[in-house]
Structure 1
Amino acid sequence: MKQIDKLDISYGGESISFRLERTARRKTIAISVGFDGVRVLAPVDMIDQDVTAHVRKKAPWVIKKLADYRDLASETQPKEFVSGESFHYLGRPYRLRVVEDPNAIVTRVSARGQTLVAPVLPQQHYLIRRASIRSGLRQWYVEKAKRRFPERLSAVSSTLGNDTPQVLVVEQSKRWGSCEKSGKIRLNWRLVMAPASLIDYVIAHEACHILFHDHSHRFWRSLETIMPDYESRIDRLDKLGHRLIW
């Protein structure tokens, strides 16, 4: 059972707010920074003063990471879902082509070469058209993810010597994946837009959580055994990830 709190500290004239999650599974404290802010995982019996002291010790790193994510976010252009826009699949760019079709009650996107074709009703209000195209694209990606992810998870599980767990393709705006205590793995459908090497990293990360339900040294050693360059993949995903959220 998790205990979730909101805390903040001051450092060098800046305020750092963070989400604190306490869980009985954790033995050590861990800090992560992303587009959704700062997240701290701590043992269930760790008092607030010890948590804030640890965050303050890491404050220079946290502040730098937050600044990096602000810079990346400022580069992101919102999608308009119009012809000519670029969308990615397995790291490769595809151009969107919107075509009017009087029979397109539902927008069903299809790939033709490096083009994603999205049929829409003629004279449709632009807001309805935009929502319809977005929905059609999402469904196309979900279908691709449902085929791709189990294949890659099976390969990673084989390398670890594990049985292939169940994988669910889900909607998550702030996480690429998660692993339940039961061993079931959830993966964000948006991940299928990323290059295959980064998809494999997230899948390997979650597969290792089946063995170790924390970010202990044993967990990282396990991940490093099957993916020695995992740190560079984390860095690449951090820099690319915000472009995959729409």
Structure 2
Amino acid sequence: MGLTKQLELFLFDAAREQPAPTPAPAARPIPAVAISCPPSLPAGARWREVQAPEQKIGYVLQRSRRKSIGLTINDDGLQVRAPSWITLSQIDAAVIEKSAWVLEKLRMSQARQQQLETAEAQWHHGGRIPYMGKRIVLNLDSTRRAAAFTGKRFAPQDNDPLYLALPHDAERSRIRDSTHAWLQQQAQAWFGERLQHFLGISKLRMRRWRLSSAATRWGSCSSDGNIMLNWRLIHFQPDIIDYVIAHEIAHLRELNHSKNFWREVERILPGFERARDALKQHNPGSLPLI
């Protein structure tokens, strides 16, 4: 039976003879993941539950023409696709086998949904958003004709105001969309400048570039020299943006992650490791929190 995934020592001291060691406090159990059947299911799908070692796991099962069992996580929870010739017991066994992975991804998905719900509180007059590593403040002003940032465009400071041409009682969706449009304009301009800067250093040539809204990657470079950069990078400080751009430019020469590739990144952006390590704390699936 094939199985595919989609998405992605405790050390004790020696016991002392005298006095008797104080028993360590019991480890706090990991809270169970809340799993429930979605209010509606796709046509032909069914809801199943299976008892895994950690807890009971429910999932939406759909039969398909694929040749193996596929497990994916979305906002409705675990989705399983399997060919018609695989039995229910085999499907349940596959879910149990991957239960640790499933529960980890479900926790991450639910945490992201909670973050997004919390972030909705930012879409109002006085709300704060991350821009180039700083927290700028949204100011709604219906007398303005267009968005305006009064701080230094590419060297912002905390609490710099971003004025949006909206009334104070504008719907949150309008505030969000206006802010995203402004952020994408800044990303287009700043990323373009930095691309030209690093292309000059590298002596390499790209075919073209554009912004992306990819859910799983910060940037990409194709074999024909096209570069894509996630616009949400504009939330980060400039050194992280520079790292992603240098990373993708290095792929123009080395379309892999070999030692030669990392030497190329170092040549383009010496000391890139700190920014790379900082970026590892985030993933596109967790951004924007706005």
| TM-score bracket, shorter-length normalisation | 0.5 to 0.7
| DSSP 3-state at the match of 1:233 | helix
Match of 2:161 among 115, 134, 137: 115
Identify which of structures 1 and 2 has the higher relative contact order when contacts are C-alpha pairs closer than 8 Å and 6+ apart: 1
Structure 2 residue aligned with 1:159 = 201
User: For residues 168 and 128 of structure 2, what CA distance do their matches in structure 1 show?
Assistant: 23
What are the within-5 Å matches in structure 2 for residues 157-236 of structure 1?
Answer: 157-236=199-278
User: For residues 238 and 206 of structure 1, what CA distance do their matches in structure 2 show?
Assistant: 16
1:138 aligns with 2:180: yes
Partner amino acid for 1:189? W
Cα distance, 1:185 vs structure 2: 0.5
Structure 1 residue aligned with 2:120 = 79
Cα distance, 1:79 vs structure 2: 3.4
Partner amino acid for 1:7? K
Q: Is the 8 A contact 1:153 1:164 kept in 2?
A: no
User: For residues 248 and 212 of structure 2, what CA distance do their matches in structure 1 show?
Assistant: 14
User: For residues 183 and 256 of structure 2, what CA distance do their matches in structure 1 show?
Assistant: 30
Regions of 4+ moved over 6 Å: none
Change (3 A) 1:240 1:93: farther
Q: Is the 8 A contact 2:124 2:168 kept in 1?
A: no
Partner amino acid for 1:229? G
Taking structure 2 as the reference length, the TM-score comes to 0.54
User: For residues 148 and 195 of structure 1, what CA distance do their matches in structure 2 show?
Assistant: 12
How many residue pairs align between the two structures? 188
User: For residues 111 and 240 of structure 1, what CA distance do their matches in structure 2 show?
Assistant: 27
Cα distance, 1:221 vs structure 2: 1.6
What are the within-5 Å matches in structure 2 for residues 20-31 of structure 1?
Answer: none
Match of 1:90 among 125, 132, 143: 132
User: For residues 225 and 197 of structure 1, what CA distance do their matches in structure 2 show?
Assistant: 15
* 1:211-245 deviation digits (Å, cap 9, x = unpaired): 11111221112112223322221221233554644
| DSSP 3-state at the match of 2:194 | helix
* 1:193-218 deviation digits (Å, cap 9, x = unpaired): 21111110000000011111111221
Q: Is the 8 A contact 2:183 2:234 kept in 1?
A: yes
* 1:60-112 deviation digits (Å, cap 9, x = unpaired): xx9xx98xx79x967774233112221122222211122355x97xxx43213
Q: Percent identity?
A: 27
Structure 2 residue aligned with 1:6 = 4
User: For residues 166 and 203 of structure 1, what CA distance do their matches in structure 2 show?
Assistant: 13
Range with bigger deviation, 165-174 or 200-209? 165-174
User: For residues 79 and 200 of structure 1, what CA distance do their matches in structure 2 show?
Assistant: 29
Q: Counting helix residues as a fraction of each chain, which structure ranks higher? A: 1
Structure 2 residue aligned with 1:40 = none
User: For residues 139 and 123 of structure 1, what CA distance do their matches in structure 2 show?
Assistant: 19
Change (3 A) 1:159 1:245: farther
What are the within-5 Å matches in structure 2 for residues 19-98 of structure 1?
Answer: 77-80=118-121, 81-98=123-140
Q: Counting strand residues as a fraction of each chain, which structure ranks higher? A: 1
Q: Is the 8 A contact 2:125 2:168 kept in 1?
A: no
User: For residues 201 and 229 of structure 2, what CA distance do their matches in structure 1 show?
Assistant: 19
| DSSP 3-state at the match of 2:228 | strand
| Structure 2 residue runs without a partner (length 5+) | 7-52, 55-100, 152-159
User: For residues 196 and 236 of structure 2, what CA distance do their matches in structure 1 show?
Assistant: 19
Change (3 A) 1:138 1:218: same
Partner amino acid for 1:78? A
Change (3 A) 1:122 1:87: closer
Q: Is the 8 A contact 1:173 1:245 kept in 2?
A: no
Partner amino acid for 2:120? K
